[in-house]
Amino acid sequence: MLRVRSEIGRLRKVLVHEPGLEVDRMVPAMMEELLFDDILFGDRARDEHGQFRRLLQLLGVEVVEAEDLLAEILDNREARAWVFDVVLEHIATHTRSRLIEAPSVQLASALVAGMLAEPSHGRVETADLYDLAPLPNWCFQRDPQIVLGEGVVFGSMSARARYREALLSRAIFRFHPDLSEAPVLLDPIGSSAGLAHPTAPPRACLEGGDVLVFSPEVIAVGNSERTNREGIHALSAALARREGGPRFLIVVEVPRRRAYMHLDTLVTQVDRDACLLYPPVMLPGGGLEEARVFEVDLHASTQTFLPRADLLSSLGRHGIDLMPVPCGGEDPVTQHREQWTDGANALALSPGVILLYDRNIGTADALARAGFRVVDAKTLLLGREELDLADRGRVCILLPSHEISRARGGPHCLTHPLVRD
C-alpha cells in the first residue's frame, strides 16, 4: 500500500538504502559524473546512516531497505529475466555469465555495488576498473520514484550514471508483491526502458527531489538542473483531470547551479504552517537568483502555466500559509554555507517534528527561534530523552553528518516516504 498526500503527515513507512560497497568502490575521477563533491569514508557514512535508521525505527517508522526489496524480487523468475533483459541488456558476455546463476542477494548486491574488473598491470582509465559500475547515488532514494497519493511516478534521471537506478526502481515496483498493485501514474521513459540511456533531445527528465507534495490538491515541481520542462509537461499531462489526483501544479524555475540541484535543496515543509527555505532564491526580492514561479490548473481544459509572484504566495492562494524559516538564519554568509550542506533539506516525521543535519547550526538556531526544541539524535538513541510523534510540539532532531553530507543530500534526499498519515 502507498499513501503520500503531504510532506508532513506522520511518517509510517519509508524507503531507504544504506551506503554500501558502491561508495567504497567510487574513485575521485568519477565524482563529476556521479554528481558527488568528494569521495566518502564508507564506514563512517554507514555509521551515520545507521543512527539515522535506528532513530526512525525508535520513533515507530517502518524502514524498508531498497536492496532487500531488490533481492526479494530476484527470487522471481520473471523479475530476474526482466532485470537481465532490461537493466543488464548491454553488459559484456563474460560479466553476464558471472551473474546469470548468482544467488538473489549476490545479484542484488552486484546491481547496486557494481563489479570490479580483473586486475591488470598498468590500468589507468576509470572505465577499465569495473565490469559493472557502482551506483553510489542509490542511497538517495528520493529520486528514482515519486509516490503521489496511492500511485507512483517513475523518475527519468538526467545523468547517464544514474540511469540504472531508475530501472531498478521500476523492477522493484513492478515485481514486489507489496508494491506491484500500485497504479503507475507516469513512466517518462516508457517501453524504451533499458534499451539505452536516451540522449536525443528533447528527453523528459524528472527526479523525485524536485517534487514536493504540499497537500492532496497542490504539488510543486522544480524546473532545475535535474528536471526539465519536458519532464514537467509529461507530469502535468499525466495528472491532468485525473480523478483523485492533485488539482494544482506549481512550477518553481530555479537557477541552473550545482548548489541548487533539486527543489528540496531550497525548500522543505517542516510544519503545517512553516517551511525551511533559502531566501536568496525562494523569497521575493532575492535578486538575480530569485526563482520564477508558474501555476497550472490540472482540471482546466487547457494546460496554461500562469506566472505567480513566488512559491509561498502561490501556496497561500490555496490555503497553505507557511512561515518561512531561513536556512542558515539571517546571516547571508551562513545562508550560503548551510544551503550547500543541506540546511533547507529537512525530513518531517510528523507535523513539526523534523530531522536535520547537525552541521547546520545557523539553521538549527533559526528553528529554535521559531519554537522548535532542538535535540541531538544521540540523546534519543541513548534514552536520555524521549519523543512521541503523537505529541504536539515542534522538535528538530540533529543527525550526525560529518561524512554522509559530503555526498550532497540531506535527510529529505535520503528517504522516500511510502506511507504517511
- Residue 104 falls within a domain, yes or no? no
- Residue 174 falls within a domain, yes or no? no
Instruction: Give the Cα separation of 409 and 193 in Å (integer).
Output: 26
- Residue 345 falls within a domain, yes or no? yes
Average pLDDT over every residue of 29-52: 88
Backbone phi, psi, residue 178, to 5°:
-75, -15
Q: What is the pLDDT of residue 197?
A: 46
Instruction: Give the Cα separation of 237 and 340 in Å (integer).
Output: 33
CATH of the domain at 260: 3.75.10.10
> Helix, strand, coil shares of the chain as percentages rounded to 5?
35, 20, 45
- Helix 163-175, helix 66-73: angle, nearest 10: 60
- Residue 24 falls within a domain, yes or no? yes
| Catalytic center residues | 413
- Residue 218 falls within a domain, yes or no? yes
Which has the minimum average pLDDT: 118-122, 252-256, 362-366? Answer: 118-122
Q: What is the pTM of this model?
A: 0.94
Task: Tell me the three state secondary structure of residue 19.
Answer: coil
Domain that holds residue 414: 11-63+139-156+183-420
Give residue-wise pLDDT tens across range 98-145. 999 999 999 999 999 999 988 766 656 777 888 999 999 999 999 999
- Residue 100 falls within a domain, yes or no? no
- Residue 25 falls within a domain, yes or no? yes
Give residue-wise pLDDT tens across range 282-311. 999 877 899 999 999 999 989 899 999 999
C-alpha to C-alpha distances, 281 to 52, 118, 124, 316, nearest whole angstrom: 29, 48, 42, 18
Please give the angle made by the CA atoms of 210, 142 and 148, to the nearest 5 degrees: 70
Domain count, the chain: 1
Give residue-wise pLDDT tens across range 373-412. 999 999 999 999 999 998 889 999 999 999 998 888 999 9
Instruction: Give the Cα separation of 170 and 184 in Å (integer).
Output: 10
The long-range contacts involving 375-383, CB below 8 angstroms and separated by at least 24 positions, are 377/51, 377/52, 377/55, 378/51, 380/55, 380/58, 380/59, 381/51, 381/54, 381/55, 381/58
Chain centroid to Cα 383, Å, comes to: 30
